[in-house]
Structure 1
Amino acid sequence: MASVGLLYVGAVLFVNAMMLLGKVEAKSAAILNLFAGALQVVTPTVIIITAGGDPAAIMGASGIYLFGFTYLYVGIGLLAGLSSTGVGWFSLFVAIAALVYAAHNAFVVRDYPFAVIWVLWSFLWLLFFLVLGLGRAELTRYTGWVTLVEAWLTAVIPAFLLLTGRYTPSATLALILAGICVVAFGGLWMYARLPQEREPSHA
């Protein structure tokens, strides 16, 4: 069930990336945020209710709420025209909590790729905090590109690997993922700092 939800985390991150990059109108993106947010609240609730008090299952499900609340917060805020600062500061909370989940995956679960994925999510939500909470508008373009990359590398592809039974919690996969993202994010930082092409003026 959680792997299905992960697939749609990728979908909403993809649409939100397009919104940050100016390709999707904000209220249009809000609808998918509400759908995905609802899914990411219902899914962990069902897992926890049916876990029979298993601490490992409850711990694994608890982190899903971080995404559900984020997407519901974003969706409602966009539709209602609310300030983004609340979402921004909540994103700081998510960024810090994600590091705890990363450590748990690395040292307790021994799922090294997801330890890296949680670190990547922490970085992404930190960017959301800077852009939405602190108003660092100059980082919007870079955040959009990072969101686009993470939609596929931290959500869609892992979800399909899990759904098809091809996922392996190996350290090698974790190192490959970390290496790809370091190179990609470094390159995107340089690209995002390039002057944007201006649309031709119409007299």
Structure 2
Amino acid sequence: MSNVGLLYVGAILFINGLMLIGVIPGKSAAILNFFVGGMQVVLPTIILIQANNDPAIILGAAGLYLFGFTYLYVGILQVTGVSGEGLGWFSLFVSACAVVIGVIQFALGDAVFGVIWWIWAVLWFLFFLLLGLGKESLAHTTGWFAILISHLTATIPAFILLLGRYESNAAFALGMAALGVIALVLSLALGHRARGTTAPATSATASIAT
């Protein structure tokens, strides 16, 4: 994935997480979704034009499209009021692709990004449960997980890559996996806590579905 694109994945996951827990209105978040989604459709198209049929470059571009289409879809939902079931089922497709790309990253010797792609697969599966299956009780859990992993899996690795200091190794990969599990456990706890407050879960879901 493009280092610059990865940096903005961190930004948009953070914003969309805040939207899901009700901190940011959906229409406000839509603007950045259009910016980042557009960037992650235009950039991989340019990359593919210049790829010269290089399989590694094409694989990286394919991953960018998965993110770009998601964010454009989110932005469109905010401004049109269309329900989110289509995005939910698309998220299931993204989740499955992320699992496969993670396996490929392991096969290519990059265990860290193998783990990162699997963490993203969990997040997109939560989007599927929330929007595709209407599991509104998972709204805050999904939002908090997006917030917690936004910088863990995107912003921080992007800066490491931009500085030329990235090195994939077993210790780094295990640490990333452990932090991903901790983020999921914390998100489940925070989501359970939110369900006990006066704000209904449907209000967070509505921010992305309408």
TM-score (norm. length: structure 1): 0.94
The whole-number CA distance in structure 1 between the counterparts of 2:190 and 2:28 is 27
Structure 2's unaligned 5+ residue stretches are 200-210
Determine if contact 2:51/2:57 at 8 Å carries over to the other structure: yes
User: RCO greater where, 1 or 2, for CA within 8 Å and sep 6 or more?
Assistant: 2
The whole-number CA distance in structure 2 between the counterparts of 1:28 and 1:190 is 27
* Displacement after TM superposition at 1:196 (Å): 4.3
TM-score (norm. length: structure 2): 0.91
The whole-number CA distance in structure 1 between the counterparts of 2:45 and 2:57 is 11
The whole-number CA distance in structure 2 between the counterparts of 1:192 and 1:127 is 12
- Read off the aligned partner of 2:181 and give its amino acid letter: V
1:167 aligns with 2:166: yes
Q: Deviation string for 1:6-51 (max 9, x for gaps)?
A: 1111111111011001000001111100100001111111111111
Q: Which residue of 2 aligns with 1:129?
A: 128
Q: Which residue of 1 aligns with 2:95?
A: 95
Q: Which residue of 1 aligns with 2:41?
A: 41
Percent identity of equivalent pairs: 51
Q: Which residue of 1 aligns with 2:179?
A: 180
Q: Deviation string for 1:105-136 (max 9, x for gaps)?
A: 001x2111100000001000000001111111
**For 1:9-158, what aligned pairs fall within 5 Å after superposition?**
9-107=9-107, 109-158=108-157
The whole-number CA distance in structure 2 between the counterparts of 1:41 and 1:137 is 29
Larger of the two Rg values belongs to structure: 1
* Displacement after TM superposition at 1:198 (Å): 4.2
* Displacement after TM superposition at 1:188 (Å): 2.7
Determine if contact 2:142/2:187 at 8 Å carries over to the other structure: no
* Displacement after TM superposition at 1:192 (Å): 2.1
The whole-number CA distance in structure 2 between the counterparts of 1:79 and 1:138 is 24
The whole-number CA distance in structure 1 between the counterparts of 2:198 and 2:132 is 28
- Read off the aligned partner of 2:117 and give its amino acid letter: W
The whole-number CA distance in structure 1 between the counterparts of 2:27 and 2:68 is 18
The whole-number CA distance in structure 1 between the counterparts of 2:87 and 2:125 is 11
The whole-number CA distance in structure 2 between the counterparts of 1:68 and 1:191 is 28
- Read off the aligned partner of 1:39 and give its amino acid letter: M
